[in-house]
Structure formats: C-alpha cells, structure tokens
Structure 1
Amino acid sequence: MNVIKKVRGVVSFAYTCQADKQFSDKFWSRHHIASNGYYSVRQYRAATCTELGKPLQITEKKSNELKPGQIRVKIHAAAVNFADVLINNGLYQVKHKPPFTSGLEFAGVVIETGKDTKTKVGTRVVGMEFMTGHAEETCVRENVVYQIPDDMDFATAASGITSSYATAVGALESKARIQPGEKLLVTAAGGALGLAAIDLAKNVYGAEVIAAAGGSDKCNFLEQKGFKTIDYSKESIKEAVKKAYPKGMDVALDSNGGDHFMECFKSMAVDGRLLSLGFSTGKFPSVPVNHMLVKNITVTGFYWGIYHKYDVSYERWTINEAFRYFTDGKINPHIGATFSLDKINDAFAYIMKRKSIGKVVIEIQ
C-alpha cells in the first residue's frame, strides 16, 4: 500500500494491482487522486472530543483499513443522545480517553466490507457503537448494524429505533409485561425515550397513558398528540395521579430519578410495576422496601445497553420489533431538531438546555 501511494497514473495503478478487482475496490474505498496527481489516503471529517468537558472539534481523519469482521459505513445521519453529552464530559459509566470520535448511534450505507462478513456493499443500515456516529464514515463490527426497512429514511433510522424504541419495547413488553387497558405513567415523556414509550404504549399495547414532562411547551406538544399530561414543573406527580386514577398506576417508567422516581413510587397501584430507566437529575433514590411489601410493588432497573454484551439475541429482538411496528404503521418516531455536523456543539447545547422534544439528529450527507 505504501508503494502504491507513490505511483502516479491509472495505468501504473492497474499494473501494480494486476487487475485484481477486489484489491482495487478496497484501495479506492480508502484513497483518492490528490490535486498533485498522486494517490493519497482518503480522509473524512469527524466531531472529535480532544479534551473532556470542552467543545468538540471538527477534525480530518484518515480512513482506516478494515479488520476481519468489520464493515465501512458512509454515515448519512446520526443521533445526539444525552449519553453522548455525558461521555464527552467524562460522566458516563463507560469512560473514554480523548481524543475520540463523538457519537454512538448512526445510519448510512455500507461502502466496503472486510473479511468474514456477509453484508453487501450498498446495504442501508443503522447501528450503535461507541466513538463512531458523529462523522462522515465509520468502521464497525458487522454485528452492531441492522438493515433498515425500505420505507425508512436515514434520519428516522437514526432517531432512536436502535436505542429509544428498542429500550421501550424491552421495558414495556418483556419487563413490565404491560397489558391492554392498563394505566401507564411515563416521566420525561417529551424526550426521545419517553416519546417512544408513550407511542408504543398507546398505539401498540393499548394502554391508558399519562405523559409527565417539565414545562408547558412539552406538555402542549403531548396534549396535541392526544395524551393526558402532568407538568411536574408546576404540580405534584402523586397528586395529579391521585385525581386522575385514585387506585394508582399499573406501570410506571421513570428516567429522571430523585424526587420524580419517589413520586412515581407513591403513585403505584397494588401489584404495580415501576421501572427505573435512568437518572437525568443525577439523584439516586432509596426505595422503602416496606412499602413495596405492603402494596406488592415490583421495582425493576432496566438498562437495555447491557444486552449488547450479554444477550445479543434479546437486543436484536427489541430492534426487530421496533422495525416491525414501524413497517406496520403503528409507531411514528419524532425528530425534534436537526443540525449539521459543523453545528454539533449547538446540538449538544440544545439538549443540555432541555429544549429538545424527541430525538436530535445530525444530518451528515
């Protein structure tokens, strides 16, 4: 490869390659003809965390050679998750040492495949992998991507199918075992995960939903979607639930932690199931076990990401279910805002200010 970089002209390249098409395709996936007429390693732009807690930098990176089992994806759209904010500030449970590419959820087209892979070039895929998404291309293991349905565009694919909707499927369908007609309370209902949960609960599982969110803008949006709401910036979750459903909630999903989790706990019906999905407030509540006993309440933690390591079949089931519900026209992922790659720091600031409703997406191609 180093010799070929110095060779000038297509004829010389073809002779050096000995008309080996496979080698030629691989070569051109990583190279281009520079302005001086010489071949050079192709580069791509990426949002790079050069220092934890500092703004991301748009940098030029060289295309890496694929390892066995890897594929190269030309990224068209990528999500900005709250986890991305935590990772780039060194606050996530999985630590990364700078410099690294930001982003973990992306959608695009396969442009090259390595040895021991089955995916075909040209396949439209969505995937999740740390240190990949916020860039023009990425090299990832084949088993972290999923083929996108034909009727799904890249922005929609990157808007939470492999995270928010898959998490909500696992939480509601397999952990909470929600049934038609049951009453569900969801906090942070204006966020990507919250919207996915109430979308599935209402339109797939047939539950009665109370969508709890902070602020009139989010609550107005949710009411326009046909949901009962609680604005917990103005009223108590417990008191609002008591007025609407005196017997309490059958199922609750909380992503906030802290006082909101405890108010959900106090709002549960007998035999209620409360799932903890995160702690956006940064506060970790303590559960009074004696109250669990008295009302037969089940409290469950649910971290969907762990199945990526311990049970890929479960992960694939949740994602395929989300794809199926989309193809059947039952769910409608909501994109709250889009930004270009150059404006990635604005996207992060938008999320930090709690302005986002649904998923924030970076449009790259």
Structure 2
Amino acid sequence: MRAILCKELGPANTLVIEDIASPAPGKGEVKVRVKAAGLNFPDTLIIEGKYQIKPELPFSPGGEMAGEVLEVGEGVKNFKPGQRIMGLTGYGAFAEEILVPDNRLIPVPDGMDDHTAAAFSMVYGTSYHALKQRANIQPGETLLVLGASGGVGLAAVEIGKAMGAKVIACASSDEKLEVAREAGADDLINYADEDLKEALKKRYPKGVDVIYDPVGDKFTEAALRNMAWNGRLLVVGFAAGDIPKIPANLALLKGCSIVGVFWGAFTQQEPKVNMQNIMELFQLFGQGKLKPRISQVFKFEEYEQALAALTSRTAKGKVVLDVAGQ
C-alpha cells in the first residue's frame, strides 16, 4: 500500500510517497481502507515537530479520515468488514490503509459522503465542545469568531447560530467574510481593512460575550479588550503563528474567563461526553443546520499543495485529500 511519509521533520516538501507493508490489526484495532482524509492545521505542525503529539519517525501525518472497514482485530464487536466509518487518528491518515483503535471510530451517518465524513469530526467536534462545555454559550449572547472562514471558524459560526447566539465573523478579506455570511454570520469585520479593537468598540460598546479564537497573534488581545463582563475567551489555536502574551489584568478588569480548548485531550478524558456531542452534531447535520464547506479536494499525490492551502491561510472551509481517487 502507498503512504505519505514523514521521514525527517520539516515542511511539506520533505514528505515522500512510498510503498509500505499492509498492516495487520491487533487486539481492539480496526484495519481501514482510507477513502479520504481531512486536513487540519495540526497536520502542518506535526511534520515539523511543533505539535503536542510527536510520533516516532517515520510516520504518516493525517489526523482524521473516512473509509471502509477491511478487517477487525480480536475483541472488536462494533464494526464489521465493508462498514463505512469515520474517525480520528492523531496521525497516519495520509495512507491507503491504517490501523485505528475501535474506540476512535464512528459509523458514517446516512446522507454523508466520504469527503464530508473525512472533514467533519475535528472541526465540528472542536467547536461544539468549545461552545457547549467550555463557554456554556446561551441564546442571545454575542459570539465573536476570529478566523471565521477557516475550518473550525466556519463550524463555530454554524454551531453558534444553531445555539441561538448572535455571530460576529472576523476574517482578513471580504471574500472570506462572504463565506462566513453564507454560513449564517450576522455581522462581518474585515480585520485587514479595519482595526479590530476600534471596530468592536464602535459596534459593540458593551462588549462581546464569547470570543472563539483559533488565530492568536495580535488579534487575541484586540478582541479581549472588547470583552463583556463575565465573558469567555476560548483559546483554540494559533494559526497566525505567534502565541499571544495576554496582560493578566484584562481578565481582572473584565471579570472574564480565559478558557483553553484542547478537543483531542477532551475526547480521551471524557469519551462519553464527546460521543454525546457527536450524536448531537449528527442530528444537527440531519436537520440541515450544519452544511460542511469543502473548499478544495486534492489528489493523493498533491499532498504538498493541500498542506500549503492551510499554511498560506487561503483555505475557505475544509481541505480534503482524496486518498482513494474517487
């Protein structure tokens, strides 16, 4: 089978495609034929050794995928060959076959194709956990989404609307903001053309209730300075590159909370709660309230261009690697 391998830490152009042996499932494992892999910002970090997860070399990147069960290992009772599944892998999904622990797989719901299934779990799981468990967002509250045209940003826009919030989408171009508007955003701020702090101060003098921040850099503090009393800053990631150093007095003056969102750890620490979240997300998908936007689909051999769509921050929605050549 073919796999995209990271044999030395570095950017995407150091990855290679090689034929490797087909794996055999062990106890509690499922062997999956990967149909499609969803790309996420951590995929660009893990190959450079900059992510929390640091696999031994060589390894295949790719943290989520959709495919078909080929074989099950000892003790696996919930899956059978031929079944369509989706799941989180941490890494390894950029390969034609993969072994996945059975507790990291979910049957694909009716009406969801392979590309959508591969692009669903991480962004919607992250944003739902952030807004439900970490922010406890309430109907009528204001939700500010930074990086609103990216994968997790768009998911936060849709989920925020479904939860009854007023959603303010922020992005770096009018084109990106149009995507957020189509996803349901009520207000739009282009922080390339406007000063974010001043724009928020003018439009929302009482501040915003929840800030969803997968961007970091200078945007975090600018948004935090416009936080409402009892507000919640959700620290999701740092796609802009720099990890912000936030003045601690802002949390004191605003009476607000700065809350970390590490969905990967949450899925391991609270698997039952996470599964309930996923089932609720499937319900919203079935009701048409969530409409995953896949901006680009790349061939297996085009992995470098696919990863570049994330590092260049040009992706509007999710990027998918078509592993099976569908």
Q: In the alignment, residue 155 of structure 1 is paired with which amino acid? A: H
Which one of the candidate residues 206, 211, 215 is aligned to 2:173? 215
Corresponding residue number in structure 2 for 1:313: 272
The one-letter amino acid paired with 1:158 is: A
Counterparts of 1:128 and 1:48, CA distance in 2: 18
Confirm or deny that 1:356 pairs with 2:315: yes
Maintained 8 Å contact 1:72/1:110: yes
In the alignment, does 2:98 pair up with 1:138?
A: yes
1:173 to 122, 132, 142: 132
- Residues of 1 paired with 2:221 and 2:191: CA distance? 13
Tell me how many residue pairs correspond in the alignment.
320
Q: Structure 2, unaligned stretches of length 5 or more? A: none
Name the CA distance, whole Å, in 2 between partners of 1:264 and 1:343.
36
In 2: Cα distance, 1:351 partner to 1:294 partner: 36
Q: Which position in structure 2 is the counterpart of 1:24?
A: none
Q: Which amino acid aligns with 2:169?
A: A
Cα pair 1:55 1:345 within 8 Å, conserved: no
Matching of residues 77-156 of structure 1 within 5 Å: 77-118=36-77, 119-156=79-116
- Residues 106-146 of structure 1: CA deviation (Å, up to 9, x unaligned): 00111111110011222211111133211111111111101
Partner SS state of residue 170, structure 1: helix
**2:224–2:250 Cα contact (<8 Å) kept:** no
Compute the TM-score of the two structures, normalised by the length of structure 1. 0.84
Shift of 1:296: 1.4
Deviations 1:162-196 (A, max 9, x none): 11101111111121111111111010111000000
Runs of at least 5 residues in structure 1 that lack an aligned partner in the other structure: 1-43
Per-residue CA distance 1:218-246 (angstroms, 9 max, x = gap): 12332344532111122122211122222
RMSD: 1.5
SS of alignment partner, residue 54 of structure 2: coil
Structure 2 CA distance, aligned partners of 1:251 and 1:47?
Answer: 39
- Identity within the alignment, %: 39
Mapped partners of 1:92, 1:289: distance in 2:
25
Aligned to 1:50: 7
Instruction: Determine if contact 2:154/2:183 at 8 Å carries over to the other structure.
Output: no
> What SS class does the counterpart of residue 100 from structure 1 fall into?
coil
Q: 2:283 aligns with which of 321, 324, 330?
A: 324
Shift of residue 264, structure 1, vs aligned partner: 1.3
Q: For residues 151 and 47 of structure 1, what CA distance do their matches in structure 2 show?
A: 29
1:197 match: 156
CA distance in 2, matches of 1:213, 1:307: 27
Return the letter of the residue paired with 1:337. Q
Shift of 1:102: 1.8
**Which has the larger displacement, 89-98 or 251-260?**
89-98
Residue 243 of structure 2 corresponds to residue 284 of structure 1: yes
The counterpart of 2:212, out of the listed 231, 243, 253, is 253
- TM-score normalised per structure 2: 0.94
Distance 2:48 2:190 in 1: 29
Moved more, 291-300 or 331-340: 291-300
